[in-house]
Amino acid sequence: MSAPEGRIEVEVVAIEAAADGIVEIELAARAGDRLPDWEPGAHIDLILPSGLVRQYSLTGEPAAATWRVAVLREEAGRGGSRWIADRLQVGARLKVAGPRNHFALPPANGAAAPLVFVAGGIGITPIVPLAAQALGEGREVRVHYCGHEGRMAFLDRLHGLYGDRFTVHISERGDRLDIDALVVDAAASGAAIVTCGPARLLDAIGETARAHDVPVHLERFESGALPAPVWQGPFEVELALTGVTIEVPPEISVLAAAEAAGALVLSSCSEGTCGTCETPVLDGVVDHRDSILSPAQRERNDTMFVCVSRAACPRLVLEL
Ligand code: FES
């Protein structure tokens, strides 16, 4: 797994505790360099010295000279967040790929379409800059933040920006988010919902929003169940940059088949949630099975996530 193109080196210039189990890290370009531009909703891939690749949403100001990410130390994870929380030090150099953005603010549906942001746990990280962007555009904004006592970052900043339009829901206090009431309110005011967090929260919001015809824009950290493939048999994939055509049998992912043929593909989650393995599609029809693209983005058929998505036709041509 490697993809040297598009990587940059950054330096860790600050590490601060943002809440219990959450550290906020500030990254700067090397002297004389400038970090790439980004828009709210974007994330970067941090490439750790072990080779693990981890995705973190950018939480700071797009105009700032440095990047900020917040990392939740996950005891049950594969070790990336524990290494960052326990071992990473100011002055360390890291490789980064991106930024990429699959969670940009939905366009205004009318002049002042209100937006209701809902974050669950560390899902607050993309919501912070997205809500700030919406506020800056003069849109009506409400922010709901669900989490556990002591483990919620950015509370002071969010209270300061949104005042009584910011509501905290802390499980231990029993003030859980009333999803039905939230969606009914959104429907009454013509608002769209923008949400990021655990799958259970997103599934519940998505289902309720659909029932009330409320637009919902979400980013998942965990995958849902994969549907059966559209194309059941083997299919061909031409790797245009590598110069070979491979056959992908039903039991193998396009990612695994492409890597076995020598293609360079950066990947991380292998479940269609992180966006790291995004690959341009040059020809053919894709069976999108990721948790990232919106229906409109799927319709464009110009990109795919090769760890889970497959062909919906006998042959694909990919820019790999
Ligand atoms: S590796 Fe995460 S979406 Fe493919």
**What confidence tens digit (pLDDT) does each residue in 104-140 have?**
987 765 556 899 999 999 999 999 999 999 999 999 9
Average pLDDT on 230-236 reads 94
Inform me whether the pLDDT recorded for 2 exceeds 50: no
SS3 (DSSP) at 257: helix
Q: Pick the residue with more confidence: 167 or 295?
A: 167
Kindly state if the Cβ of 279 falls inside 6 Å of ligand 1: no
Q: What is the pLDDT of residues 247-303, one digit of tens each?
A: 999 999 999 999 999 898 888 888 898 888 999 999 999 999 998 888 888 999 999
**C-alpha 278 to ligand 1 mean position (Å):** 7
Please give the DSSP secondary-structure letter assigned to residue 204: H
Kindly state if the Cβ of 268 falls inside 6 Å of ligand 1: yes
User: Angle 199-211/179-189 helices, nearest 10 degrees?
Assistant: 40
**C-alpha 313 to ligand 1 mean position (Å):** 22
Which atom belonging to ligand 1 lies closest to the Cα atom of 305? 4
E strands in the chain: 7-19, 22-29, 43-47, 53-57, 67-72, 93-100, 115-120, 141-147, 166-170, 192-197, 216-220, 235-239, 244-248, 278-283, 286-287, 303-305, 310-311, 315-318
pLDDT of the residue at 5: 45
Q: Pick the residue with more confidence: 15 or 223?
A: 15
**C-alpha 268 to ligand 1 mean position (Å):** 5
Instruction: Give 282's Cβ-side CA count (13 Å radius).
Output: 9
Inform me whether the pLDDT recorded for 177 exceeds 80: yes
Average pLDDT on 48-61 reads 91
Strand partners, 139: none
Copy the structure tokens of residue 282: 């040059």
List of domains in the chain: 7-100 (2.40.30.10), 115-220 (3.40.50.80), 235-318 (3.10.20.30)
Secondary element (H or E) of residue 81:
helix 80-87
Kindly state if the Cβ of 267 falls inside 6 Å of ligand 1: yes
Beta strands 67-72 and 53-57, pairing class: unpaired
- DSSP-assigned states of every residue in 109-158: SSTT--EEEEEEGGGHHHHHHHHHHHHHTT--EEEEEEE-TT---SHHHH
Kindly state if the Cβ of 259 falls inside 6 Å of ligand 1: no
**C-alpha 256 to ligand 1 mean position (Å):** 12
Q: Which residue has tokens 């799927």?
A: 298
Q: Which residue has tokens 């899902």?
A: 123
Which atom belonging to ligand 1 lies closest to the Cα atom of 275? 3
**C-alpha 306 to ligand 1 mean position (Å):** 7
Kindly state if the Cβ of 307 falls inside 6 Å of ligand 1: yes
Strand partners, 194: 117, 217
Copy the structure tokens of residue 224: 């849902």
Which atom belonging to ligand 1 lies closest to the Cα atom of 273? 3
**In a mutational test of the pocket of ligand 1, which residue from 44, 45, 259, 268 has the highest number of ligand atoms less than 8 Å from its CB?**
268
Question: Cα(10)–Cα(223) distance, rounded to whole angstroms?
Answer: 29
Inform me whether the pLDDT recorded for 78 exceeds 90: no
